[in-house]
Chains A and B, each alone.
Chain A
């Protein structure tokens, strides 16, 4: 006898929970989109990661109307510039044709299939592609307009009424007065406003019941979510990642957004979906002409071979170029790493050790610093393992200083440094005063009675400020820097308990301190100075400023995390606890916190007045080395930006600067291993470097952490750059010059529309239109025994998916033999089955 009655429903409508389940699944079509203040990189195709990479790109192309690859013309220019190896392209072409034997099959005397495919890749056709008209259909524009009004973060003079009812109901209440709605939906739309359910899930359920039987409800809902991926992504952020107090005034779920689309659908006001862009025509005639052949002269077998090549569409050709780019890179990197693995010698005890973020921008700076003296550097996630949220002194909201994969476990307060309380209060008073002035000016500027008077009264001051920012940017920059320095001196993050949250216990502190050693392979015989170096960037008038800060710190600078961990590591109780765990550091070791500015390459050392006098000489020598390293790295970066080194300092403070730095453009590899492995290789700022010592990680737990967390963040970054480059209009954010910030949460192109989800054109492309960032998938290289890595990948859903589905490529270098082996993607043609051990590089 069964104790539980089966779950039954008698009508045709789905239950609310079933609809909620479908909507929640459909929401995965888009990635969460963080607001500008904490912008971090996300893979725009994160919802497709269950699929093999190529299939995911194709599916997303259909849903978002996006291109699958760069135009051939740009790939060809990258090849001409030497950034892709033609031999690697030829290898990719041979692989596509099924191996060298088939590739060498003749089409005509002296013309093989490979010749024909290479001609398609390199010569035939102009290789450009028609760009779609920018802008939205009237249905999407209607919903985007109301999203902009509803989600506004206090920017408008008159907020939308009824926001507390939720997005769907608030728009229902206003739509009757909107001429755009009347134009779109006519009398039917007006009637629907009176009759549709007020609950979005009920409204969706009612609509799904009327769908034709062959329509898959999930595919239908996913298609609706994908129509405005920016606003849908913003809703995902609000639902899943925002602090509740930030979004309580305007509750919105994906069901609200879908219900609005369904309202338009029921009024027959929905435009046709975009669909995948055309991938080019059959090039049979062009191939014949190129080789001076005629169709009649070819026998049936040769004609068939010609057709095989002619049918390869431009998207597939682009994919071959991407494969070639990936192989070109790996072919240069892996042998160099193998050579280092065979010959590496650990350095003598260094004068100082510096721990940097894994960010690709750290690598060239580390190399420049290492050239200045006996310094050892490490790579570690830039939040230094501290899952914290910081409540700024006299600030309104907490900042989450941790990767978005984590939730904060400790709430930290920024408090006055003992002895500097009055200075801290003065800074807070000034900040409050500035905020009041800004609010007052905004209110005056927007008020119908005060707008003109405000312009008259403040115009001269604004003009003076504008002239100063334009012609004397260093003066305004110096003022801002002085304030920043005062703030850093007077205020510090503290691990003391807040009234409402638990803070760090001694066990917590010891745990976070030991993680630094365990995950990076840092040995207990530490140098006299160990510097934890977070990073941030400088940009003025730049909505994407947070995207240049530390991604591991949730789009914020990493100085606070570095200061906290340094304080923990200098704590005597923590040192004692570490010693009991076998990490007994010399008493002469002192930890210092610092922050690397990736735009100017200047390094700020925090809490200098607390550094013991015994270490003053060490610090002075290090500071001099840091200054010289900064100069060297600026010179290197200036070449890439096509500017003078001093100009980089101007760009960091100039409000007209559209490209203060290249950010993480060029990112291509994630290397897990000791610095010995990479010290002698110029990685050109293209590699995330996570320090790791396989010998101290006996149970593999450190490697598991590195691959399932920092590498996942690196993969998101890599995918954001990849997709923003191949289709900057759909997956990026287009030209910065025509962008506007909306509601304080994101950017739109022109004066409205969908939130843009990716990076601006200026962050990816040179001024001549050539991509600075080559779109290629992340190559992860691990220096560890093969069987350890294989066991780890097999036991992890995330890793099996990323490596097996081709989102990330994995190469493992065995520490004992320096042999390298590559992980094979699922379904790859090989009789030996899937295994790390099967493919030698």
Chain B
């Protein structure tokens, strides 16, 4: 059974997902802050198959080994800014990024294109 609620307020936003080496985590954080994204999700120990073979996700005593994935949501202009900055990083560091349209319920949680960004506690 599906439940459809036409009164549910949804807002269109852009989402960016970035997979990079965990040791480059600070590079991404600097970039997100510079774009005005003050809240994001980071998933550690991401595993997967890439150009250089399988990347292990397992790390025990080292947060800087393996891969991490960042997920950020914001207005289109902000996310485009992040992607623009990423293009510089990808010239020197391995990584992949995905951009997509999403709908969110609480728009004030996510980075607006003007002024201060959303609640960092996201």
Contact = CB atoms under 8 A, between A and B. Distances in A.
A512 to B, nearest CB: 11
A15 B81 CA distance: 7
B60 A24 contact: no
A426 B32 CA distance: 48
A795 B53 contact: yes
A797 B95 CA distance: 13
Contacts of A21: 27, 30-31, 85-89
Nearest to B64: A405
A701 interface: yes
Contacts of B58: 701, 704
A24 B99 contact: no
A7 interface: yes
A17 B56 contact: no
Interface in A415-461: none
B30 A708 contact: no
Contacts of A403: 61-62
A838 to B, nearest CB: 20
A291 to B, nearest CB: 49
Interface in A6-41: 7, 9, 15-25
A796 B62 CA distance: 13
A635 interface: no
B63 A407 contact: yes
Contacts of B27: 21, 24-25
Interface residues on A, range: 35 or more
A402 to B, nearest CB: 9
A705 B85 contact: no
B102 interface: no
B26 interface: yes
A22 B88 contact: yes
Q: Which of A381, A405, A712 has the most CB of B within 10 A?
A: A405
A515 B63 contact: no
Interface string B35-52: 100000000000000001
Contacts of B88: 18, 21-22, 25
Interface string B47-85: 000001111101111111100000000000000111111
A798 interface: yes
A406 B63 contact: yes
A341 to B, nearest CB: 26
Given A20-B34, A794-B53, A15 B61 contact: no
A16 B82 CA distance: 9
A240 interface: yes
Nearest to A17: B85
A253 B31 CA distance: 12
A18 B52 CA distance: 27
B92 interface: yes
Contacts of B99: 4
B80 A7 contact: yes
A815 interface: no
A239 B26 contact: yes
Nearest to A406: B63
B60 A218 contact: no
B21 interface: yes
B56 A704 contact: yes
Nearest to A199: B34
B56 A19 contact: no
A708 B34 contact: no
Interface string A681-721: 00000000000000000000100110011101000000000
A403 B99 CA distance: 35
Contacts of B26: 24, 239-240
A385 interface: yes
Nearest to A22: B88
B61 A385 contact: yes
A201 interface: yes
B35 to A, nearest CB: 5
Interface residues of B, number: 36
Contacts of A3: 101
A16 B60 contact: no
A795 B21 CA distance: 14
B87 to A, nearest CB: 7
A631 B63 CA distance: 40
A705 B81 CA distance: 37
Given A239-B26, A704-B56, A20 B31 contact: yes
B30 A405 contact: no
A23 B93 CA distance: 14
Contact of B34 (A16, A406, A704): A16
A797 B31 CA distance: 23
A253 B60 contact: no
Contact of A20 (B23, B30, B56, B64): B30
B71 to A, nearest CB: 17
Contacts of B93: 25
B95 to A, nearest CB: 12
Contacts of B56: 704, 795-796
Interface string B1-43: 0000000000000000000010100110011011100000000
Contact of B92 (A19, A218, A704): A218
B61 A710 contact: yes
Nearest to A705: B60
A3 B101 CA distance: 10
Contact of B61 (A20, A381, A794): A381
Given A22-B88, A24-B30, A795-B56, A17 B82 contact: yes
Interface in A702-754: 704-705, 708-710, 712
Nearest to B99: A4
Q: Which of B53, B64, B82 has the most CB of A within 10 A?
A: B64
A521 to B, nearest CB: 16
Contacts of A797: 21, 52, 55, 65
Nearest to A701: B58
A258 to B, nearest CB: 12
A794 B53 CA distance: 9
A707 B32 CA distance: 32
A217 to B, nearest CB: 9
B31 A24 contact: yes
Contacts of B35: 16-17, 20
Given A23-B30, A24-B27, A708 B59 contact: yes
B96 to A, nearest CB: 15
A798 B101 CA distance: 35
A15 B65 contact: no
B1 to A, nearest CB: 32
A18 B27 CA distance: 11
B84 A406 contact: no
Contacts of B62: 403, 405-406, 705, 708-709, 712, 798
B61 A17 contact: no
Interface in B74-122: 80-89, 92-93, 99, 101
Q: Nearest 7 A-B pairs (CB), nearest first?
A: A17-B85, A20-B34, A709-B61, A21-B88, A709-B62, A21-B85, A24-B27
Interface of B: 21, 23, 26-27, 30-31, 33-35, 52-56, 58-65, 80-89, 92-93, 99, 101
Interface of A: 3-4, 7, 9, 15-25, 201, 218, 239-240, 253, 381, 385, 403, 405-407, 515, 701, 704-705, 708-710, 712, 794-798
27 contacts: A7-B80, A7-B84, A15-B84, A17-B31, A17-B34, A18-B84, A18-B85, A20-B30, A20-B35, A20-B85, A22-B88, A24-B26, A218-B92, A381-B61, A385-B61, A405-B61, A406-B63, A407-B63, A515-B60, A705-B61, A705-B62, A708-B59, A708-B65, A709-B65, A795-B54, A795-B56, A797-B55
Given A21-B86, A407-B63, 8 more contacts: A20-B30, A24-B26, A25-B92, A218-B92, A701-B60, A709-B60, A712-B62, A798-B23
